[in-house]
Structure 1
């Protein structure tokens, strides 16, 4: 495989980042032209944090040799967790000592007891301090227990204490969706000191799952000020995942603004942002690299550029002219292919060939330009669904089409989804059992006692506490029943419905356990038993609660361990996206069009998940119901194909082929 082929293969893979630029052609002046903060992109968070952890280790060691204290500013939230894990590893395996380290944390909710589950004191102890040899007296975290009239004085002393050490040697930051750093929300000033602040509604909404509901999230916090952060000698900001992409673009490429406090970092002389591909996907060099430098024009990048040009001009593909390309930074494509018409026809045919009404392959047909092979037919198909409704939400039309076209379809629900059932909804089922017992005079089953016990548990549970095992099982049973109902509606044999209940999920809380080989083995055993020709899986890394990410990683690891099996060599993996967003058109390998009737069938299958209708405990930032998000997304994709000059369809579901095992 030559270098260009390697770039192409990596670009096809949505889980890895490869530069689209020709060797030596990526300008060093990106920062001056687009990016106002130096930004590095890594394939994974674990790779990125190793760079910073090594830098911090060298700083600590260098300071220790001089008999000096190393002063670190630390952050909480999900972004720095991989960094803390690497520091702990370096302490345990490489002997890195933290005895000469002083830390100052950015913030704490107010009011907040240090032992509370949501406390940042507890967070830091669990993720870092309890696992290293830092001296307790060298740990500084804002005090969420102070009387309100003592807070201002505490904040002044907090800043003064930082100054007494000569300032922060290095400050670690994450970034919130409002663009806050620490809890410096929109409207914070560049000269703002450490202080008490009111939390933005979006920040409180994002924290709702940790507190068992938005109503339980504190409205205030104590935060290190922007001025205190900007005094740090060095600043490193971490950002992971698609959900951070838009705010990273604004922070890095937008103007300095009090409405996005992270943009103040553009004024700092020694700041770096480290992000993965998901968080970087809205940056110009990733989204529109032809505007930045000379590119390797592989088919996907050509498609990406032409689709963008069509959207910029409001033209279909076949109407683009040479002038259109030249006036929008795409002269290099004309130099390579000669004329706009040549590029237009190439991309038009490329996109047209993604459309297929036969997701399992069309028998007795020439499959040379079809996304899925004709044989074998029928195929054995496994649809993996992270939660018990992602299958119908994201690919319900394709699901129904595969069954109707005669394929041997199985669906595997990876997690129980029990935390996404309201307490009151669960009690309704127990209430129903009380009536059933009364109607049928069932004496050996005490439904009233079970109901009263569950009601007592719910009434006495504190915000953020896990459900009892019995309540978890009840809520899981509700989700199972809904999944079976949806499958029955689509015509799937109940024997083909598999509930995996992966262990990583079963904490009863939003925060999950790490993935282990036990999770992988459950997936691997099912695949080995069924030996499918097609695997459909949710490739959605933007799930705000992380379950989708762990689920797809579990499937990929299982496939890695099975890749030498004879059956696996004839298996294709198709990735759909969850309820949060759709694949960009440049990545799509198969587009399955849906008729108006099929859209209705999909909607009614989603309706079977009644516990998730009207309102769910963790809806994300989108207020629409799942069926609405799904239909709007599928209609928008069909509309985009139409505007590009393709046939007009009611709706389209999209898939990316994952061929990293080839």
Structure 2
């Protein structure tokens, strides 16, 4: 019964790498089968972040296992319009960089919608594209991603089930979601050329892949709810050979994970009881202590009553779990013995190390806790893992260059070398093309801007300069949105800092929904560093606890929270002012993802919503709350 709510086949893997390997191996099997039959293999290909690992594995199979693409014909789903084929954001360039340049596919077998044609030629181009697919014998295997609004290809909500390849207007939510690829939202094209839904559904086999928590809500709608053109991906329910390939985070909203008690027998652990009762209380709008036996039965929790007894006793158990996780002492309350407290009282004071993926994640996601740890006497260190340089606009750099030049003039300083650098940077920005990456000097200036803001924030909180660490991890320094994988140097630098500080508490960003994946890589680096230190037998690691925060992109669900730090209205304002110090990120966020609000607005709304949900469940009403989950290693 575990998949009884799902209307389409679903394969769930531990992570995107395992899911990507599955898809790549399925594609490779079809290619080899067609080769053995002396036939062409026609692939429908997608772009974006989702299929990158699939393409990397196909390249590996070609280079190390002899997988040939000599019989492969490809048709890409879509392309922005208008766009130069060599632009950084062009899907033509994407395919060359991620696949075509690394395998033995014949150039004449590659087909991608042309974003360079005059507009009056696009209609014929689309008709020709359809004809070429038919002439090739139709698509054998089509791979798809899924947009946060349910789009497949660039078929936005409302696209007809019978639509063909055509030019479309991009939904604003799609442009916002894709804005991380561009300097700012205004440069994201408003049009695109895309295969139609009917074109996609003619493929003989379809794999739709979705990775990460941001995709979970729309995956649930597409898989479990009724077919509707408002969720184009749901139309795949009408296809006779489609498989959704998900990682655990993308599958998290499916009933089998969200409400597993509805799909069969489960083990009623304390965590599962908490999850079920909190979910029921929020759905019914009742406080925890107001739930009745009838509520349990109506919500499908009759088995829990049978196993655990009366609703009153279960309610108290869950209420106490929630209550005991709320504390104003994130470092533990000194001179107190509180067995159920989320943190140890001793040692006091603690050495705390906050890892911040970007130079503002610390204040955005845990600013109230950050300040409270310092105010309560703990030795707080902050490690800024990356420079954050790509998130500074060119306009902001120009402003700082003008200031630096003006400062030299009024101070009488004559530094010909610095003036030469600044003049070259100014000239580069004035003539910079959309497809052009920043020079090393521009990236250094942008990094310096963010470093100054981070230092100012730490001084605002009261952190000593010697406790502020700028790691500038190498994986990030590509000058482009796309980053390198975690490397040995990233781990070495992090292990060195951990051994230098020897923290009792480590705080990391568990917020894995940032659009270009920096948080995930940063978290993996910290985890790997801690595992190695533990394996190597360092004594201090035995007394080091790790807490994960969210806030910039999403928030923990109430049932997941293990430590909740309440904030007063004054503390909310103080945190807001700390976020405002990051002026380069205010008013126009370069890589804001699908959320158009500024970061301070997101943080305040999420913190306020967490506090509101605790109050709805019958606990004390606070202005805001920051939430944490402990990671065990």
Fold conserved (TM > 0.5)? yes
Cα distance change on mapping 1:57 and 1:618 into 2, 3 Å: closer
1:449 to partner: Cα distance? 5.2
CA–CA distance in structure 2, aligned partners of residues 147 and 482 of structure 1? 45
Instruction: Name the counterpart of 2:143.
Output: 172
Cα distance change on mapping 1:310 and 1:95 into 2, 3 Å: same
Structure 1 residues 560-575: aligned runs within 5 Å: 560-564=531-535, 565-575=538-548
Residue 541 of structure 2 aligns to a residue whose secondary structure is helix
TM-score by length of 1: 0.92
Instruction: Name the counterpart of 2:579.
Output: 606
Instruction: Name the counterpart of 1:276.
Output: 247
Residue 112 of structure 1 aligns to a residue whose secondary structure is coil
1:499 to partner: Cα distance? 0.5
- Of 187, 199, 216 in structure 2, the residue corresponding to residue 245 of structure 1 is 216
Structure 1 residues 48-127: aligned runs within 5 Å: 48-127=19-98
Residue 348 of structure 2 aligns to a residue whose secondary structure is coil
1:70 to partner: Cα distance? 1.6
Structure 1 residues 196-207: aligned runs within 5 Å: 196-207=167-178
CA contact (8 A) 2:69 2:105 kept: yes
CA contact (8 A) 1:391 1:399 kept: yes
- Of 399, 412, 418 in structure 1, the residue corresponding to residue 389 of structure 2 is 418
Query: Is 1:539 paired with 2:514?
Result: no
1:239 to partner: Cα distance? 0.6
- Of 557, 560, 566 in structure 2, the residue corresponding to residue 593 of structure 1 is 566
Listed one character per residue, the Cα deviations across residues 559-591 of structure 1 (whole Å, up to 9, x for unaligned) are 121123221121110000131121001111111
Structure 1 residues 257-656: aligned runs within 5 Å: 257-444=228-415, 450-564=421-535, 565-656=538-629
Cα distance change on mapping 1:239 and 1:375 into 2, 3 Å: same
Listed one character per residue, the Cα deviations across residues 479-507 of structure 1 (whole Å, up to 9, x for unaligned) are 11111111111111111000111112122
Listed one character per residue, the Cα deviations across residues 358-380 of structure 1 (whole Å, up to 9, x for unaligned) are 11112222242111112222111
Query: Is 1:27 paired with 2:2?
Result: yes
Gaps of 5+ in 2: none
- Of 204, 215, 232 in structure 1, the residue corresponding to residue 203 of structure 2 is 232
CA contact (8 A) 1:464 1:509 kept: no
CA contact (8 A) 2:547 2:630 kept: yes
CA contact (8 A) 1:465 1:509 kept: no
CA–CA distance in structure 1, aligned partners of residues 2 and 188 of structure 2? 45
Residue 358 of structure 2 aligns to a residue whose secondary structure is coil
CA contact (8 A) 1:543 1:578 kept: no
Instruction: Name the counterpart of 2:113.
Output: 142
116-125 vs 262-271, which deviates more?
A: 116-125
Listed one character per residue, the Cα deviations across residues 192-225 of structure 1 (whole Å, up to 9, x for unaligned) are 1122222222222233332322332333222122
1:321 to partner: Cα distance? 0.8
1:298 to partner: Cα distance? 1.4
CA contact (8 A) 2:178 2:593 kept: no
CA contact (8 A) 2:183 2:393 kept: no
Instruction: Name the counterpart of 1:21.
Output: none
Cα distance change on mapping 1:162 and 1:435 into 2, 3 Å: closer
Residue 621 of structure 1 aligns to a residue whose secondary structure is coil
597-606 vs 633-642, which deviates more?
A: 597-606
CA–CA distance in structure 1, aligned partners of residues 33 and 228 of structure 2? 37
Residue 18 of structure 2 aligns to a residue whose secondary structure is helix
1:597 to partner: Cα distance? 2.8
TM-score by length of 2: 0.96
Residue 249 of structure 2 aligns to a residue whose secondary structure is helix
Cα distance change on mapping 1:204 and 1:647 into 2, 3 Å: closer
Cα distance change on mapping 1:307 and 1:414 into 2, 3 Å: same
146-155 vs 39-48, which deviates more?
A: 146-155
CA–CA distance in structure 1, aligned partners of residues 187 and 571 of structure 2? 41
1:657 to partner: Cα distance? 0.2
CA–CA distance in structure 2, aligned partners of residues 80 and 538 of structure 1? 25
CA–CA distance in structure 2, aligned partners of residues 485 and 594 of structure 1? 22
Listed one character per residue, the Cα deviations across residues 396-445 of structure 1 (whole Å, up to 9, x for unaligned) are 11111111111111000011112222222222222222332233222345
Instruction: Name the counterpart of 1:210.
Output: 181
Query: Is 1:193 paired with 2:168?
Result: no
CA contact (8 A) 1:437 1:447 kept: no
Query: Is 1:131 paired with 2:102?
Result: yes
CA contact (8 A) 1:71 1:168 kept: yes
CA contact (8 A) 2:608 2:623 kept: yes
Listed one character per residue, the Cα deviations across residues 609-650 of structure 1 (whole Å, up to 9, x for unaligned) are 222222222223323322222122212211211221222222
Residue 383 of structure 1 aligns to a residue whose secondary structure is strand
254-263 vs 391-400, which deviates more?
A: 254-263
Say what the alpha-carbon RMSD is for the aligned residues.
Answer: 1.8
CA contact (8 A) 1:211 1:464 kept: no
Structure 1 residues 6-25: aligned runs within 5 Å: none
Cα distance change on mapping 1:70 and 1:623 into 2, 3 Å: closer
Cα distance change on mapping 1:169 and 1:590 into 2, 3 Å: same
Cα distance change on mapping 1:304 and 1:159 into 2, 3 Å: same
1:518 to partner: Cα distance? 1.2
1:254 to partner: Cα distance? 2.5
1:338 to partner: Cα distance? 1.2
Gaps of 5+ in 1: 1-25
CA contact (8 A) 2:130 2:165 kept: yes
1:516 to partner: Cα distance? 1.2
CA–CA distance in structure 1, aligned partners of residues 311 and 55 of structure 2? 51
